Amino acid sequence: MRIGVPKEHGEGERRVALVPESCGKMVKAGLRVLVEAGAGESAFFADAAYREAGAEIIEDTAQLFATADLLLKVQPPGDSPATGRHEAEMMREGAMLLGTLVPSRNPEAVRRLAEHKVTAFATDLIPRITRAQSMDTLSSMANIAGYRAVLLAAVQLPKYLPMMMTAAGTVSPARVFVIGAGVAGLQAIATARRLGAVVEATDTRPAVREQVESLGARFAGVETEEAAQDAGGYAKQLSEEFYRKQGVLIGERCAQADIVITTALIGGVKAPRLITAEMVARMRPGSVIVDVAAEGGGNCELTRPGSTAVEHGVTILGPTNLPSDMPWHASTLYSRNLTAFVLAFWKDGAFKVDLDDEIIRGALVTHGGEIRQGR
């Protein structure tokens, strides 16, 4: 089977779906790996490193797409600047695609994949079960996003994060408030604590209190008897009364914070609006908000996805691809996730699409010309 690794063309995207380390594992397992020339350059992986790992470098983009049995990508298929054609249309009928799709945000890409009878697997839909942990790209990338968000905030904040004892007197530590204690939120908490900040966090799921406190942060939550998470472990939509109480809590904590990191998503995709313009107006001048959920629309009313805004003296960052800011490690972790998926179903010289397997079934978006999920 031929694995194809194209160069990513999304705006600001510096990651590559497969790195030489993983390439070597696939070649050893009996797979043939084809890598588009320059695919790893933005992540600091040279063509020579891929050749050393046993991959073949393909200069022609169209040839790569037409030849691959299984294409590995970071971003959903889009228009190829090299050929002027949509990437889904360049794939042959019956070929497979593995990568981040987020079908609800990319219905056009899903439609084209189905039309061209491509079997597409979305890593963002892989069920969160023990057997699939090594394939979980969402967690790998969220970990990087949480870490990076705190670094961005620290650069923008006109204060120290840690307490400093100087000849001119003692400087108090910065106060960081993290909204959402999933993977990104927990990494943000850990990073802010390592930098010496006083950290407080909130989440709709009371079950995460122990994790928050184990990292040295204080948990602030709204008491509720409602089930706060779905079967997949994601936060789910709750009642209006709950959100009213949560709004009061968030408004109070934001007014006291120097940095607010927001990471809340419903179902892992949709960003609930949690910080209003009025809440921002009550924050201290010089404070910073980093809206990690900007790609899902943003948790803050004043967030401008993909850019930075200053409102009422508060700097609001709306990054939409934080993992790409750390392309070497982001690519390495993403690549390991995809390799784990491929090798788990590579048996007796073939990739088995077992529709009875819950991982395959959960990740499958298009198959046999049909859209299986994501309409």
Q: What is the pLDDT of residues 126-170, one digit of tens each?
A: 999 999 999 999 999 999 999 999 999 999 999 999 999 999 999
Cα dist from 26 to 7, 84, 335, whole Å: 19, 31, 11
Residues 292 and 231 reside in one and the same domain: yes
pLDDT at 124 over 80: yes
Residues 297 and 355 reside in one and the same domain: no
* The predicted structure's pLDDT at residue 110: 97
On whether residue 224 sits in a domain, the answer given is yes
* The predicted structure's pLDDT at residue 239: 74
Give CA–CA dist 318/325, Å, rounded: 14
Spatial CA neighbour of 13 closest among 361, 358, 295, 351: 295
On whether residue 136 sits in a domain, the answer given is no
Q: Which residue has the higher pLDDT, 356 or 229?
A: 356
265-283 residue pLDDT tens: 987 788 999 999 999 999 9
Residues 146 and 223 reside in one and the same domain: yes
Backbone angles phi, psi at 80, to 5 degrees: -90, 120
Residues 205 and 281 reside in one and the same domain: yes
* The predicted structure's pLDDT at residue 237: 66
Backbone angles phi, psi at 54, to 5 degrees: 100, 5
* The predicted structure's pLDDT at residue 84: 94
* The predicted structure's pLDDT at residue 226: 59
Could you tell me the residue range of the domain that residue 306 belongs to?
142-324
Q: What is the CATH number of the domain that holds 272?
A: 3.40.50.720
On whether residue 65 sits in a domain, the answer given is yes
* The predicted structure's pLDDT at residue 177: 98
On whether residue 209 sits in a domain, the answer given is yes
The overall average pLDDT reported for the chain is 94
On whether residue 130 sits in a domain, the answer given is no
pLDDT at 235 over 80: no
On whether residue 332 sits in a domain, the answer given is no
pLDDT at 45 over 90: yes
Residues 36 and 184 reside in one and the same domain: no
* The predicted structure's pLDDT at residue 222: 81
On whether residue 53 sits in a domain, the answer given is yes
Handedness of CA 240, 241, 244, 249 (dihedral sign): negative
Residues 70 and 40 reside in one and the same domain: yes
What does the block give as tokens for 39? 């695919």
Residues 299 and 151 reside in one and the same domain: yes
* The predicted structure's pLDDT at residue 266: 84
> Would you list the DSSP string of 242-277?
HHHHHHHHHHHHHHH-SEEEE---BTTTB----B-H
Q: Are 178 and 156 in contact (CB under 8 A)?
A: no
* The predicted structure's pLDDT at residue 204: 87
Residues 207 and 246 reside in one and the same domain: yes
* The predicted structure's pLDDT at residue 228: 58
pLDDT at 233 over 60: no
Name the least confident of 151-165, 198-212, 219-233: 219-233
Active-site positions?
128, 133, 136, 139, 234
Residue 250 CB contacts under 8 Å (≥ 6 apart), including other chains: 179, 202, 274, 275, 279
* The predicted structure's pLDDT at residue 234: 59
When pLDDT is averaged across residues 8-20 and rounded to a whole number, the result is 95
pTM: 0.93
pLDDT at 125 over 90: yes
Q: How many domains does the chain have?
A: 2
